[in-house]
Structure 1
Amino acid sequence: MEDTASALTEIRARIDELDGELVALLARREALVRQAAPLKGDDRAVRAPERVAQVVARVRVLASEAGADPDVIERIYRSMIQVFIDLEADQHRRRADA
């Protein structure tokens, strides 16, 4: 039982380290999304279904190449993309209200 607990503690520490890296990368992605938002003229440009499909197809390939489950990566990306779409849409609403 001690070895299992020790192994789990080590795995969790490594996950925590990766979380720090992921959050930093997501912050960089968010900054780019915020830069792109004012360049988009309407809701269709914000939602950009063709771009979403392109990104999802690309990350599925990257997932396979990295040894990850493409379905898991797709679900993560679709969720992340939706959150960023909501952020951009909110920026557009606030700009229109101003």
Structure 2
Amino acid sequence: MAVTCTTLEEVRNNIDRLDQQIVTLLAERGRYVSQAAHFKKDADGVKAPQRVEQVIAKVRNLAQVAGANPQVTEQVYRAMIAAFIQQELAEHAALTTQQAT
């Protein structure tokens, strides 16, 4: 829950604190994405558009419950998922190459 700040510096300090937590969570999420590459058979499995839409629907609902803007949440998640898909595609390709040798 956000506290009421009395200065811009307080606002920025709280945003910096949250950014640290968000980046830590992104790193953890990224480690799970890396693990997922081991379970997927091909690039289509990595892209998994149906799963992407499930995640988007889920986070939009979570945003509403939390009092966040669902549109902003969706945009952030779509960008994050697209970046993680690129990471996972590269890791999947490397795994496929290793298995072929």
TM-score (normalised: structure 2): 0.87
Show structure 1 runs of 4+ deviating over 6 A.
Answer: none
Instruction: Tell me the CA shift for residue 66 of structure 1.
Output: 0.7
Q: Which moved more, 1:88-97 or 1:28-37?
A: 88-97
Q: What stretches of structure 1 of length at least 5 have no aligned partner?
A: 1-5
Aligned residue number for residue 76 of structure 1 = 76
More helix by share: 1
Matched residue type, 1:85: I
Alignment of 1:41-56 (within 5 A): 41-56=41-56
Matched residue type, 1:54: Q
Instruction: Tell me the CA shift for residue 42 of structure 1.
Output: 0.6
Deviations 1:7-34 (A, max 9, x none): 1110000000000111111111011111
Aligned residue number for residue 66 of structure 2 = 66
Q: How many residues align?
A: 93
Q: What stretches of structure 2 of length at least 5 have no aligned partner?
A: 1-5
For 2:95 and 2:67, the matched residues in 1 are separated by: 42
Matched residue type, 2:47: R
State the identity %: 47
Matched residue type, 2:73: I
Which has the bigger relative contact order, CA under 8 A and spacing at least 6?
Answer: 2
TM-score (normalised: structure 1): 0.90
For 2:55 and 2:95, the matched residues in 1 are separated by: 27
